[in-house]
Amino acid sequence: MHNSNILTSCELHMHILGAYYAKDVLALGKDVYQQGAWDEYHYEDTYQALFGVRPDPKAIFMEALSNEDKGVEFIKRWHVYTEEDGGDFARWEAKFNFFMGIWTRYRHIGGQADVTLLQRMIDQYWSQGLDYIEYRCGTGLNLNGFLYFHSLCARLLQETSDTHRTARYILSLQRWAPLEAYANVRQLFANHPELIPTIVGIDFVSVEQGFPPKNMRPLFEQIARDNQQHPEQALDIVYHVGEEFFDKSVESAIRWCHEIAAMGAQRLGHAIALGLDPDVATQRRSDAHVYESVSERLDQIEYDLRYQRDLRTYNIEIDEQALLAERIALQQMQPEKPIERRYTKSRLDEIRRRQQFVLDHLIQWGTVIECCPTSNLRIGGVPEAKHHPVHHFLASNVNLVICTDDPGNFDITLASEIDWVLRQAGMNAETLLQRLGDPRRFRLGQQREIKRPDRMV
């Protein structure tokens, strides 16, 4: 493989639902849009509430189909999420649901319609020159639906792989019911052992607010036991964290990244909290990160007390007696009560050192950060390219891969993301390759072959 293709032909973070371009939406929707399932997502009401305009999805398709030359560009206005749409997860989701009306209609039809839906997406990315892709997707908790959809996805990806190109599958599970979802995974493996080589990992996606990593400990422990008992079926864990964290302090967002990596996550999706300068983070919104719940603050106190010796080596002040007194006071309050803690220059300086503290642990463990440049700018709340966490990550020694996240929804490719990093970082392709190395060395499934380093849990 030519050096110039190493970075642009391996995709490790792509969601199937976000992989459809405007041309795919138009082609797939032209025969089914009259029965589109937009009502299931309250698409029109939600879009109007957030954007001030009430869309008519059927009229949008009629307009696009009536003008063959400009139809795709017209669909882009409603499908592609841009920086002008605002760096907000809820606004992104509202626009994302334009395609979900078509996707869900195909899913309701089922059978060959599902194959058509997925095969178009698979063919699209082989045509871009990718030769190793880890797709990820989720579905509901209903066991029959879970087994049907995920076995179909895995089988199609398995059938499309050959000696020249490889597709693997990551199951996206629900944060609010991790053990129940994982039980479905074990049933999937029992029913379809032939698909195990293709299904290499699990992920936790969507809204992270309200689902602290500590709740995942029983699941991680169960997976570790299962991996030890059945190494040929071992599953790696990738985890979206530190992407959208306005509900908590910057310190807590950094802690979440540390905690989930310590539990054994192999790759962290986004981890913006570890690379975005705290002064920038706290100015993104009015009172950004000033308030967090009592329970979150208590978790941070426990963390600081636990790691106080190590934190002090990073010149982070830990006043043990003050923290113990604060803990006693907070324990008398309602867990969800918001508390206010304003930022000072010295606190911001300490947060930067906290970021380095966690990055150094990731380096020690070999944990990988999946950086998705455009996604972070458009829905991750990164205000400008010059503030992008990729700059901090590149300057460190942390394992790093560049990915697309939702390339169709953002109208990007992996090659365009690599080009963006080259321009913004002022690097040439050879220098970037030297810094990143071959991303294939971070592919999932290798745990079935080798033992990974223990974490400091």
CATH assignment of the domain containing 110: 3.20.20.140
Residues 201 and 110 in one domain: yes
Residue 456 domain flag: no
Burial class (CB in 10 A: 0-12, 13-18, 19+), 182: buried
pLDDT reported for residue 450: 59
Q: How far apart are CA 170 and CA 153, in angstroms?
A: 10
434, part of any domain = yes
259 belongs to a structural domain: yes
The per-residue pLDDT for 207 is 85
Same domain, 320 and 192: no
pTM above 0.75, yes or no: yes
Alpha helices for 143-238 (secondary structure H): 143-160, 178-191, 217-229
Residue 326 and residue 421 in one domain = no
pLDDT at 263: 98
Q: Are residues 103 and 78 in the same domain?
A: yes
CA distances 225 to 116, 155, 265, Å, are 38, 27, 15
Query: Are residue 226 and residue 320 in the same domain, yes or no?
Result: no
Count of beta carbons in the 10 Å neighbourhood of residue 201: 23
Beta-carbon contacts of residue 320 (< 8 Å; ≥ 6 apart): 305, 308
What are the mean pLDDT values of the chain's consecutive 10-residue runs (457 residues total)?
82 98 98 98 98 97 93 97 90 96 98 98 97 97 97 98 97 96 98 98 91 97 97 97 96 99 98 98 95 98 98 98 98 98 98 99 99 95 95 98 98 98 97 98 88 50
In a domain, 454, yes or no: no
Residue 457 domain-assigned? no
Contact call for residues 213 and 271 (beta carbons, < 8 A):
no
Question: What residues make up the domain containing 247?
Answer: 3-290+341-448
**203 assigned to some structural domain:** yes
Residue listed under structure tokens 């169709």: 408
Residues 83 and 184 in one domain: yes
Most distant CA atoms of the chain, gap in Å: 71
pLDDT value, residue 89:
87
Q: Are residues 78 and 225 in the same domain?
A: yes
Give the total number of structural domains in the chain.
Answer: 2
Does 227 share its domain with 305? no
